[in-house]
Structure 1
């Protein structure tokens, strides 16, 4: 069948089928919200915010927790330049607009995985934050590894545990570095095994292997406490939604 499409106006068809096809096309276009629906289909984790994670915090909360403080000038990882707002008194300052957006995305992903019954592992190797991280994981009903990392715990888990093991569905790294300022082994191992990761990346960290990087301070106790509380609450939101759906 020959047809021609005009730049403006409805699709015009030549032939007997013109009247039969043109009217249904008009009705479908009229009731289809292109901008919103297409975005939701392309990225269902953002549209809509099913769990309401965007209500968990405001940018002011990040500022009060000193999330915007980076390391000193001269220690900046080149891959972190897009997330830096500037510097003050020799210290780098994160752009909290970008941090807020990326943290919301990370919380949304966390809630979705919890909703689907996934296993979530909190990871941190800073002795200063061990108790904070473990308490958050316990309160969320999930797992934590806040000690020295056993190198083949992911890549050779069957031999370590003498059987088939289920690995986590998501890693939440409260810091992507170890106490020696080297990249945490879990970052590399998770990338090898295609395990999605959420990582708090400071100005001296490399975000390239992190699935959902969140630029921010990973040293301040107030900042780490805020991260733990937010991810704990996101997990609990996902689980509560799942329990409501299963009971109905």
Structure 2
């Protein structure tokens, strides 16, 4: 079971602050506790329960060896997401979402391979044989690819899930995931429609402190799943001789 989420910690991080009441999405009503000074206050008991539910599912995905793609391009979220996703060895998009990132994954993979081939050219010395102009063009291309795709360079297949901060800002990513039946986990504020998300975490998706808190909880559950996977793999070789001996005995 994933670690219990403390409501007090969520409160201290300001996870409960929603948007102004006039900007709300009525579908978020079940997650709203009250209205204060024209701002909706999110019910943190529901948030805590939803984080625990999401954490269980994310832990299973990580333990199965599949990837969760983190998506957040807004200024106050991108650095936090890059840090937390990298810490749990998961791919992330924090620059502009490349259209067709999921629905046209083959093309994206080609761009990643192009980046790898440039790196090979530098290693084997081919790069040094080029003219100054060609070198400059290739360097620019490599920098552009790195900026947009560097964090997903190791993603050889479609992710098992998306984790999104602000589904309004990342609506294209959410749409692509839904088209391919890839489950979406997301921090959903009071101005967004939770029906677009499979695992809703009602939370303030604008304040960096709130984003950091939720992402810390989520990423630690993924780390847990990864360590469970490693422990299981480490046990297998030890079991193998015993299984083989048993098989030999049954043959006799």
Q: Normalized against structure 1, the TM-score is what?
A: 0.74
> Are 1:171 and 2:171 counterparts?
no
Q: Give the one of 43, 57, 62 matched to 1:95.
A: 43
What is the aligned-residue RMSD (CA, Å)? Answer: 1.6
Contact 1:125 1:175 survives alignment (8 Å): no
Q: 1:227 aligned to 211, 214, 221, which one?
A: 214
> Which has the larger Rg?
1
CA distance in 2, matches of 1:86, 1:149: 34
- The yes-or-no answer on 1:237 pairing with 2:228 is no
Q: Which residues in structure 2 correspond to 1:12-23 (within 5 Å)?
A: none
Q: Does 1:54 align with 2:3?
A: yes
Structure 1 gap segments, 5+ residues each: 1-48
**Among candidates 205, 226, 238, match of residue 192 of structure 2:** 205
User: 1:182-212 CA deviation, whole Å, 9 max, x = no partner?
Assistant: x521111100000011011000011112110
- 1:25 corresponds in structure 2 to none
- How many matched pairs? 192
Contact 1:106-1:198 at 8 Å conserved across structures: yes
**Do the aligned residues in 2 keep the contact of 1:127 with 1:147 (CA within 8 Å)?**
no
Contact 2:69/2:161 (8 A) holds in 1: yes
Q: Is the 8 A contact 2:76 2:207 kept in 1?
A: no
Deviations 1:60-97 (A, max 9, x none): 11111111100011111011111111111111001111
Instruction: Give the number of the structure whose residues are more often helix, by fraction.
Output: 2
Partner of residue 183 from structure 2, selected from 196, 200, 207: 196
SS at match of 2:50: helix
Which residue of 90, 112, 136 maps to 1:142?
A: 90
How does 1:105-144 map onto structure 2 within 5 Å?
105-144=53-92
Gapped regions of structure 2 (runs ≥ 5): 114-154, 236-252
1:134 Cα deviation after fit: 0.3
Asked if the contact 1:80/1:206 (under 8 Å) is kept, the reply is yes
2:20 maps to what in 1? 72
Give the whole-Å Cα distance in 1 for the aligned partners of 2:93 and 2:105.
Answer: 15
Alpha-carbon offset, residue 165 of structure 1: 5.2
State how far apart, in whole Å, the 2-side matches of 1:160 and 1:117 are: 21
- TM-score, normalised on structure 2? 0.73
**Given that residues 121 and 170 in structure 1 are in contact (C-alpha distance below 8 angstroms), is that contact kept between their aligned partners in structure 2?**
yes
Aligned twin of 2:173:
186
**Deviating more after overlay: 76-85 vs 158-167:** 158-167
SS of 2:100 mapped into structure 1: helix
